A and B are shown apart, each in its own frame.
Chain A
Amino acid sequence: MRLQRFAAVATATALAFGLTACGSKDSDGGSDAGAGSKSFAAGSTMERLNKAQSIKVGTKVDQPGFGLKGLSGKPEGFDVEVAKIIVKELGIPTDKIEFVETPSKVREDAIVNGTVDFVVATYTINDERKKRVAFAGPYYEAGQNILVKADDAGITGPDSFKDGTKKVCSVTGSTPAENIKKSVKDVATQVVLFDTYDKCITALDGGQVNAVTTDNVILLGYIAKNQGKYKLAGDNFTKEPYGIGVKLEDKDFRTFINDTLEKSFQDGSWKKAWDDTAGKFGAELGAAPAIDRY
């Protein structure tokens, strides 16, 4: 904690010197790391958050490598680290972040209602969602893949479901579930949906389904947890750009986050965040995605 705070202070101070004329006054190492040390356009979301010195960030708490709430009681993962990069840039100490659980079905509502200031929660950017919220990023490009038992050679990709015999499991209402429905012969018999991926894995173990499908990074988490038991069947067959959800009309905040992300791609903090979290599962980071300033 102590060290983290120090890092936040140091970063904020360094940035303040670099960006603005009004230097840092809190060299005493106080907890108000960034208050006043950064200036943002009056009336902007950034200014409001910086003044308040507190922020609410929506994450998931059940995705290993991205946002997983363990016994420590705080979510950990790549999404959490990306959120910290942005919050630091706002001049707020990262221990002031309040993480709010935002499962898939409430993410839009949480942003629209202002329950959270932004959402970083393996949140795929798509046109449907762009109608209600705006996306900064992407900060990562995942892809949908298929998990099968290690000894299963019968499934090599989404086309393996076309003959109508094999069953696949995913999570209710998720993008991967919608995608795989296009590759099966009969949705009613071939697609099994639960509310969590854990149940899918149990169903796979029990032989009720032949495969589990979702974004590769989530599946890699399960492969890492159970050495040698499962494998991926083939390559990613979709592109899932993960974005950061903000309010639809808040263009300034979106631009700010985009700038911050681009900076983190360059200064190495983005890669470090990955190596400390999902990178441990052996997932590929690849090149930094191109920020989509739509």
Chain B
Amino acid sequence: MSVIIDRFDVFAGGFWLTLQICVLAAIGALVLGAVVAVLRISPVPPLRAVGTAYVTVFRNMPLTVVMFFAAFALPALGSNADFLRIPVLDSVFTRLGTDLPYFRFALIALVLYTAAFVCEALRSGVNAVPAGQAEAARSLGMTFTQNLWHVVLPQSWKASVVPLGSVIIAMIKNSALVGFFGVVGDLSQTADQLTSAEGLAFVPVAIGVSIGYLIMTVPLGALLDRIERRQAVAAR
């Protein structure tokens, strides 16, 4: 167990990098997922088809395959994902400031994959809103956007919080894959680093890595439980 204390800096560094990836990917996935959800419930059939196609593809493809595409197909197509080098993020997240295409590839893969699940979580929330609400809004002459923004989404939000949280927790765990696709020094990769380069015993290192992920996921789960309970009270 002394491994965790002795090499605390390594674990902390890995934790920090994983946290950066997760925060950025969560923001990206929530935004993209919301857009796809709106497409899926829009009254325009072609848009609906686009949304459905997106979810069908990314929900049914293994994340490893998505990562492979991002890390190896994008460069082959001549893209270094430079569009993700957003100036402000550069200064906030130190790792992005440097030229690390694999960080961006990993981010793209995580966002694309998770957005499909975010979309479905949001849609489940929308479906939980009684159809009469939307119909009433429409009969009052509201447009689709007004309807969505003022009537449906505020109510659906409550029903989607818990499934959304599960999606984000799953995403944090999924981020462990990025270490195998060229991102140096994330939490999962530190395990490899410590065990194979330095010959440390696998079990304590694995425990240390697990603790790192638990620190990110357990509080999030607890928070969701609280929100859920508060909603249950509010709904009464």
Contacts and interface: CB of A to CB of B under 8 A. Distances in A.
Contact of A189 (B100, B185, B201): B100
A241 B10 CA distance: 28
B189 A172 contact: yes
B95 to A, nearest CB: 7
Point out which of B95, B98, B99, B196 has the most chain A C-beta atoms below 10 A from its C-beta.
B196
Interface residues of B, number: 29
Contacts of A178: 197
Nearest to B76: A206
A128 B196 contact: no
B189 A188 contact: no
Interface in A85-115: 103-109, 112
Given A178-B197, A188-B98, A189-B99, A109 B179 contact: no
Interface of A (DSSP majority class): helix
A151 B185 CA distance: 32
A129 B199 contact: yes
A132 B200 CA distance: 8
B197 to A, nearest CB: 4
B182 A192 contact: yes
Contact of A132 (B72, B194, B199): B199
A64 to B, nearest CB: 20
Nearest to A103: B196
Interface in B68-105: 71-72, 75-76, 95, 98-102
A269 B221 CA distance: 61
Contacts of B193: 172-173
Given A128-B198, A131-B199, A202-B72, A105 B182 contact: no
Nearest to B73: A206
A108 B100 CA distance: 33
A207 B75 contact: yes
A276 interface: no
Interface in A166-206: 172-175, 177-178, 186-189, 191-195, 199, 202-203, 206
Point out which of A178, A187, A193 has the most chain B C-beta atoms below 10 A from its C-beta.
A193
A208 interface: yes
Contacts of B100: 188-189
A191 B184 contact: yes
B98 A175 contact: no
Given A128-B199, A186-B98, A208-B101, A105 B192 contact: yes
B192 A195 contact: yes
Nearest to B198: A128
Contacts, number: 80
Contacts of A132: 199, 201
Nearest to B201: A109
A15 B192 CA distance: 43
Interface in B192-228: 192-199, 201-203
Contacts of A193: 182, 184, 189
B2 to A, nearest CB: 14
A203 B182 CA distance: 9
Nearest to B182: A192
Interface string A238-266: 00000000000000000000000000000
A131 B200 CA distance: 10
A106 B179 CA distance: 18
B54 interface: no
A109 B71 CA distance: 32
22 contacts: A104-B196, A108-B201, A109-B195, A109-B202, A112-B201, A128-B198, A128-B199, A129-B199, A173-B193, A173-B195, A173-B197, A174-B197, A188-B98, A188-B184, A192-B102, A194-B181, A194-B182, A199-B181, A199-B182, A203-B182, A206-B72, A207-B75
Given A195-B192, A207-B75, 9 more contacts: A103-B196, A109-B202, A128-B198, A172-B192, A187-B184, A188-B95, A194-B180, A202-B72, A206-B72
